[in-house]
Amino acid sequence: MLSANVVLVTALLYVALLFTVAFLGDRRSRNGRPGWLQSPVVYTLSISIYCTSWTFYGAVGSAARSGLEFATIYVGPTVAFIGWWVLLRKIVRIAHAQGITSIADMVSSRYGKSTTLAALVTLIAVVSTTPYIALQLKAVATSFQVISNSGPDTLTEMHNAGSEYQIGFWIAAGMAVFTILFGTRNVDAKERHHGVVAAIALEAVVKLVALLAVGLLAVFGVAGGAEQIFELASPEILHAQDAFGPRWVVLTLLSAGAVICLPRQFQVTVVENVDESHLRTAAWLFPLYLFLLSLFVLPIAIAGLNFLPADANPDMFVLTLPIWASRHDVALLSFLGGFSAATSMVIVACIALSTMISNHIVMPLAMRLRWVSRSASGEIRRFLLVSRRISICVMLGLGFAYFRLGGDSEALASIGLIAFAGAAQVLPCLIGGLFWRQANTAGAFAGLLAGTVLWAYTLFLPSFGGDLVVSRQVLDQGLFGIALLRPQALFGMTGVDPLVHAIFWSLSVNTLLFVVVSLCREPHPLERLQSALFVDVFRTSAEATDGLLRRSAATHDLSVIAQRILGVEEAQRLFRQAARQQGRGDEPPLADNAFITRLERTLAGSIGGASAHAMISQVVTGETISLNELVRIADETQRIREYSRQLKDKSRQLEAAARELGQANERLRRQDVEKDHFLSQVSHEVRTPMTSIRSFSEILLDGRGLDAERSQRFLRIIHDESLRLTRLLDSTLELNLLEHGEAPWQLARITPEHALDQAIDVCQGLADGTRVRLESGERAHGAEVMAEADRLSQVFINLIANAIKYNTHPAPWVRVSSRIRQGQYEVRIEDNGPGIRADERDLIFSKFRRGWSHTQTATPGAGLGLAISWQIMRRLGGDLALGANNPNGGAVFRVTLPLADRR
Amino acid sequence: MKPPDPGTPRLRDAAALLPALALFLLMPPVITLFTETRTVGGVPLIVAYLFGVWLALIVAAALLARRLAPPTVAPPASRD
């Protein structure tokens, strides 16, 4: 049998070990060599303060009483952690980006840095945590009594109330000392307490080892094996049939929420997190820890039910089983496990709550009531530390008082779930704020307030039992006698488990008000900024958002605040660094938007976001939010859409350019073909006269039997053909020159009628040699054009000569007329010849075409005349066109030139 | 700009859906399918199912977490 002294000495040695570990951890991290202190494993172990003495002892008790229902408390957090990608990751990222120090800080920071919201969350946290602390004190005190009181009475709980309270008091005092020593050394800018985390991790290991030891004892030591232990169990133990109802669902989801938003859990999971990637390890390692812890709960419960006396308290099986089995080493270990579970919870809860109280209640009050003088630097830090230490003592005092006053009542046993339910009221506005931009302060406040009131009315106050706060009468008949307001049957919902009932009403009204009130109000600029920063934390970088809030302040004022909160040294270092970044050398930094925002964030790490914002607001002016920038930053999808539209435009342009290139290529190819065609035509045209010249020359050279007359004729033919060749080459050259515009022409103001008369005279000679009658129709006198006289004449001669040459009519005539029409000088040359065939109209002005090829005429032309004339007219700025055949069936050619401007 | 998301879109979706799967398997009505009084290797069926699924979820989460490691191991933020 263990004596009380042995247990006491062991406990004190264990506490000394904890102090040592905490001290070493703190010193290591202060020296800058954190090493294993910041490993993912230590991080995960610290999260295990979720398993308090309520779960260490109470899980077995619950298993013995209600079967598998105990598993919900562990399954819930498993679901929450394996779903880290969805929720926890976002919370941790935001906390890093915004310098969040507590859950109240996170909620208030999201909703426009509202002080009232932070205060409300803090109050809820204090109210729901105080009974929980009392529960831990009770558990340690009871377990100490059980293990140290010898004799058969041990196994049934013998209460020595007085000594129990004494034990409770000393434990509370001891934890206060520990917490103050290691939790409030200084106001760490990021609220991290490395020494405490190290001690917590050690306690987590002790917890696990202790429970595993008792479990192994139960399975193998007492029962003799895994199969045997379940043979001992009657199937009803599991309560399998009724375990999986609404209560199962509610408890699982409640635990999942609690592991995120209980203040102590938020502290270790989010605030103490140094590296987001540690979450990846915690995602499976923490569920594994819970798994191992719960593995032996059922066997222990079964063994206890079977071997221990029937009236033994199931909550103490973890301790009484090894005592009964005479394994005092395991019993001592089990006691230490329970002790670890209780103390680690209380320590972290006190740290979290003291931070919240000092940042969100004391600090705003102090600022409003001007308790803090503006002159002394470093004063705020001291003030904060003192307020935190006082808060710790107050919290533990409240916990002890609750324990003392309500120690024996039913209240304590069920307080765990009640505390969960209270903390869960934060969930709607927390999760809603992370994903819904429209969520604003009024909605969060309304929901939180309503949910808390309902929670208190339906769950918290009735739990005091008896007539402490809520009388029996109210419980049975409702507030003011109204049946619909019965605390455990609100609005007629009867027959439902009280916890499920309370959760349903409080969370649904909470969420409903949150959503409805948020929709009814427009967010303020600061709310809008914060909501964008929170909801879009994965899409924007912190630096990009630094300059969004437009403010101006005097650097001196800012440095005063910084020194008061961070201390002189730290503040000066910060300002020097900022000045260096801004490139200002030794001068103080410029208080631009980015600097003010960064400074505010640093201060928030010490006093919470709301207070930091309030303090900075005292010295800045003109705080406006640049809505454009906010839209630009927060609306990255819009940017991406813009960019892709630009890309589409560009690719369209590229397509068009490619098409044009293709067309140009086609044109070049066509022109290449045309050129080849032209060359072959020219060579063909040249070959014919050349052949004549060659053959006739050969005959003359041969000189046999040629009389003088024949020789003369042959020579003339040779001469004529040479002339024809020369003419052809001249025409080709001329056409080429015309087409490529090489030779510049001298345009002068001329009277085209003179050119026309000249052409008629020249052609008269030609006409005289034929039977063609050359007539002159109406003439436009006094017209003046800008042209070259010779070229114009050349065109007229070409046209008239063509008309004369190719007229096969028996009574041929050619009529030349001119007139002025629509500002143009127009010449018509028509004949009564065969006209131009329909299929040749389009090609009449092409090179080497003879439109009268179907006629048999004596005078062959080169076929370039019309092409040259057409080019000349284009060069002169006019046109040469083929009109419709006249009524006589002959061709009509029209030459037009714009009139010269009247001087 | 922001660093790229770790893992592939499929892995990220799987990580987001794993808790939903967990709830599906461990909530009524699915879990009530296993409440018959049978034993598996001496252990009651419901106990084996509950703890078996639990362990499987842990393993799945571990595998996913490893695959979702960020591409480069960056040192902790300089603020520390």
Contact A338, A140 (CB under 8 A): yes
Integer CA distances (angstroms), A5 to A10, A152, A164, A320, A334, in order: 8, 19, 16, 19, 17
For residue B71, give how far its alpha carbon lies from the nearest alpha carbon of chain A (Å): 12
CB contact under 8 A, A287 and B28: no
Integer CA distances (angstroms), A635 to A536, A641, B5, in order: 9, 10, 19
In angstroms, rounded to a whole number, what is the distance separating the alpha carbons of residues A695 and A683?
Answer: 18
Plot region of A35 (φ>0 → left; ψ -120 to 50 → alpha; else → beta): left
Q: Calculate the CA A604 to chain-centre distance.
A: 25
Residues A776 and A846 in one domain: yes
The residues, ordered by sequence, that sit 6+ positions from A377 with a Cβ below 8 Å of its Cβ are A560, A563, A564, A567, A568
CB contact under 8 A, A241 and B12: no
Predicted pLDDT of residue A543:
61
Mutation target among A41, A82, A227 for the B interface, most CBs of B within 10 A? A82
Predicted pLDDT of residue A848:
62
Residues A763 and A692 in one domain: no
CB contact under 8 A, B18 and A83: yes
Helix (H, G, I), strand (E, B) or coil at A748: strand
Least CB–CB distance from B58: residue in A249, A280, A288? A288
CB contact under 8 A, B58 and A280: no
CB contact under 8 A, B47 and A245: no
Domain C-terminal end among A687, A710, A740? A740
Lookup result for tokens 């801004």: A582
In angstroms, rounded to a whole number, what is the distance separating the alpha carbons of residues A555 and A591?
Answer: 5
Q: Which domain holds residue A283?
A: 7-141+160-215+242-298+331-407
Contact A472, A466 (CB under 8 A): yes
Using a CB-CB cut-off of 8 Å, the residues of chain B touching A254 are none
Within-domain flag for A496: no
Domain C-terminal end among A711, A740, A769? A740
Residue A700 carries which side chain, given as an amino acid letter? L
Quick one: DSSP state of residue A462?
G
Residues A585 and A704 in one domain: no
The residues, ordered by sequence, that sit 6+ positions from A95 with a Cβ below 8 Å of its Cβ are A106, A270, A271, A273
Predicted pLDDT of residue A407:
55
Angle subtended by helix axes A410-423 and A53-66, to nearest 10: 110
Q: Which of A400, A357, A375, A364 is nearest to A263 (CA)?
A: A357
The half-sphere exposure of A806 on its side-chain side, counting CA atoms within 13 A, is 22
In angstroms, rounded to a whole number, what is the distance separating the alpha carbons of residues A429 and A107?
Answer: 7
Residues A123 and A195 in one domain: yes
Domain C-terminal end among A364, A381, A407? A407
CB atoms within 10 A of CB A485: 15
The count of CB pairs under 8 A between chains A and B is: 112
Q: Cα torsion for A10, A14, A19, A21, to the nearest 10°?
A: 150
pTM of the model: 0.68
Using a CB-CB cut-off of 8 Å, the residues of chain A touching B50 are 68, 71
Residues A733 and A769 in one domain: no
Residues A660 and A577 in one domain: no
Using a CB-CB cut-off of 8 Å, the residues of chain B touching A541 are 1-2
In angstroms, rounded to a whole number, what is the distance separating the alpha carbons of residues B53 and B66?
Answer: 20
Mutation target among A44, A78, A85, A300 for the B interface, most CBs of B within 10 A? A85
Q: Which of A703, A702, A731, A700 is nearest to A718 (CA)?
A: A700
> Over the stretch A523-534, which tens digit does the pLDDT of each residue have?
887 888 888 888
Within-domain flag for A462: no
The half-sphere exposure of A386 on its side-chain side, counting CA atoms within 13 A, is 9
Strand A813-821 versus strand A773-776 pairing type: parallel
Helix (H, G, I), strand (E, B) or coil at A781: coil
> Over the stretch A47-76, which tens digit does the pLDDT of each residue have?
999 999 888 888 898 888 888 888 999 999
Q: Which residue of B has its CA nearest to A89?
A: B16
Q: Which residue of A has its CA nearest to B50?
A: A71
CB-count burial class (<10 Å; 0-12, 13-18, 19+) for A266: buried
Q: Which ranges of chain A have pLDDT less than 50? A: 150-158, 375-377, 851-859
The residues pairing with A879 across neighbouring beta strands, listed in sequence order, are: A896
Which CATH number covers residue A849? 3.30.565.10
Q: Which helix (H) or strand (E) holds A711?
A: helix A708-740
CB contact under 8 A, A82 and B60: yes
Integer CA distances (angstroms), A381 to A186, A363, A388, in order: 8, 11, 11
Contact A381, A352 (CB under 8 A): no
Q: Which helix (H) or strand (E) holds A127?
A: helix A115-148
Q: Which ranges of chain B have pLDDT less than 50? A: 1, 73-74, 76-80
Integer CA distances (angstroms), A29 to A15, A32, A35, A568, in order: 21, 5, 8, 22
SS3 content of chain A, % helix, strand, coil (to 5): 70, 5, 25
Mutation target among B11, B30, B46 for the A interface, most CBs of A within 10 A? B46
Residue A815 carries which side chain, given as an amino acid letter? R
Domain count, chain A: 4
CB contact under 8 A, A274 and B76: yes
In angstroms, rounded to a whole number, what is the distance separating the alpha carbons of residues B14 and B18?
Answer: 6
A448-457: burial string, b at 16+ Cβ within 10 Å, e else: bbbbbebbbb
Using a CB-CB cut-off of 8 Å, the residues of chain B touching A83 are 16, 18-19, 22
Quick one: DSSP state of residue A811?
S
In angstroms, rounded to a whole number, what is the distance separating the alpha carbons of residues A442 and A439?
Answer: 9
Using a CB-CB cut-off of 8 Å, the residues of chain A touching B28 are 244-245, 248-249
In angstroms, rounded to a whole number, what is the distance separating the alpha carbons of residues A740 and A329?
Answer: 114
Using a CB-CB cut-off of 8 Å, the residues of chain A touching B13 are none
CB contact under 8 A, A284 and B65: yes
Residue A484 carries which side chain, given as an amino acid letter? L
Residues A714 and A834 in one domain: no
Our CA angle for A533, A537, A541, nearest 5°, is: 90
Predicted pLDDT of residue A409:
55
CB contact under 8 A, B27 and A249: yes
Contact A166, A145 (CB under 8 A): no
Using a CB-CB cut-off of 8 Å, the residues of chain A touching B35 are 240-241, 244
Residues A643 and A625 in one domain: no
Predicted pLDDT of residue B22:
93
CB contact under 8 A, B61 and A283: yes
Q: Which helix (H) or strand (E) holds A434?
A: helix A427-435
Within-domain flag for A152: no
Domain ranges of chain B: 14-67
In A618-687, the DSSP E strands lie at 620-625
A33-69: burial string, b at 16+ Cβ within 10 Å, e else: ebeebbbbebbbbbbbbbbbbbbbbbbbbbbbbebbb
Residues A674 and A687 in one domain: yes
**Chain B residues whose C-beta sits inside 8 Å of any chain A C-beta:** 1-2, 5, 12, 15-16, 18-19, 22-23, 26-28, 31-32, 35, 37, 39, 41-44, 46-47, 50-51, 54-55, 57-62, 65-66, 68-70, 76-77, 79-80
Which CATH number covers residue A650? 1.10.287.130
ipTM associated with this complex:
0.88
What the block records as the tokens of A431 is 């999760």
Using a CB-CB cut-off of 8 Å, the residues of chain A touching B26 are 75, 79, 252
Contact A322, A330 (CB under 8 A): yes
Integer CA distances (angstroms), A562 to A95, A559, A682, A717, B79, in order: 21, 5, 96, 116, 17
Q: Which helix (H) or strand (E) holds B40?
A: strand B39-40
